[in-house]
């Protein structure tokens, strides 16, 4: 058997319609997992599932608003009814926000909380219950280096990712004896559609300049790719990582320790 195989495992990846979530779903399918592609945008979920199927993998799309506890539970129930188990849960669904404490509105704060904190908690509640009942599983929460260090103008976003990290530690501790591992993946700046959109919106006349500037904020000299992040997710969710739990795992081009 090849290393990092996910063959025969049932995996849920939230926010898998684009960006890092899509890359994780694709990578999991390549390693043999049956992937449930969760996304608020069902058309995006269908497109990813179709892409995986065309490449010879196994995936199914599910419309899921993780901020809605009942809808989230129904989506998980549908997955488990089809596959009888849930081996891997990747809590990737999330949104970004730029602003300091003085420029972040109450509405902004509530929106970030609903998706990045409550959304993760909703999925954990249902997913952990399934894993306890079946005798184990693996959880990977998408966090950020923003939970581990100061990042300018990321007040609400950093708050939410700090909460994700705390939830990771809590779940890892509470369910250690239930054969459930829980880790957090902490990317640095990854080149996703959000980054491109942010630069075009805020620096329309300096796109190339700002892309290069943001790339070089990481010691390695460039942004990461969704596929590089997905490779780390494959490892942490594989049996080869069976001795790793309660870990904040950076994929950040040296940002945390080499600045």
| Paired sense of beta strands 58-63 and 10-13, if any | unpaired
Q: For residue 91, with 0-12 CB atoms within 10 Å meaning exposed, 13-18 middle and 19 or more buried, which class applies?
A: buried
Whole-angstrom Cα distance, residue 146 to residue 225? 18
Structure tokens at 258: 């080499």
Task: Please tell me which residue in 157, 175, 249, 257 is annotated as part of the active site.
Answer: 157
Q: Where are the alpha helices (DSSP H) in the chain?
A: 19-30, 42-54, 69-83, 106-112, 119-134, 155-174, 193-202, 207-215, 226-237
Q: How far is Cα 205 from Cα 86, in angstroms, rounded to an integer?
A: 47
Q: Is 62 a catalytic residue?
A: no
Q: DSSP assignment, residue 115? A: I
**Residues taking part in catalysis:** 157
């Amino acid at each position: 058997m090849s290393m990092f195989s996910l063959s025969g495992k049932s995996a849920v990846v939230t926010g898998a319609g684009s960006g890092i979530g899509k890359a994780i779903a694709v990578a999991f399918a390549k390693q043999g997992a049956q992937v449930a592609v969760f996304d608020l945008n069902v058309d995006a979920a269908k497109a990813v599932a179709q892409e995986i199927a065309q490449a010879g993998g196994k995936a199914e799309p599910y419309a899921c608003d993780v901020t809605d506890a009942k809808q989230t539970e129904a989506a998980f129930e549908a997955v488990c009814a089809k596959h009888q188990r849930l081996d891997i849960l990747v809590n990737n669904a999330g949104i970004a926000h730029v602003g300091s404490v003085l420029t972040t509105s109450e509405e902004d704060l509530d929106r970030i909380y609903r998706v990045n904190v409550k959304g993760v908690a909703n999925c954990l509640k249902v997913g952990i219950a399934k894993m306890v009942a079946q005798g184990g599983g693996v959880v990977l929460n998408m966090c950020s280096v923003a939970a581990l260090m100061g990042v300018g103008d990321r007040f609400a976003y950093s708050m939410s990712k700090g909460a994700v990290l705390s939830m990771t530690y809590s779940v890892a501790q509470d369910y250690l004896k239930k054969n459930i591992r829980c880790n957090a993946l902490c990317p640095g700046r990854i080149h996703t559609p959000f980054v491109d959109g942010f630069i075009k919106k805020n620096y329309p006349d300096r796109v190339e300049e700002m892309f290069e500037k943001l790339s070089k904020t990481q010691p390695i000299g460039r942004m990461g790719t969704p596929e590089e992040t997905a490779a780390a997710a494959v490892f942490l969710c594989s049996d080869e990582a069976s001795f790793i739990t309660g870990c904040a795992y950076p994929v950040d081009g040296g940002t945390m320790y080499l600045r």
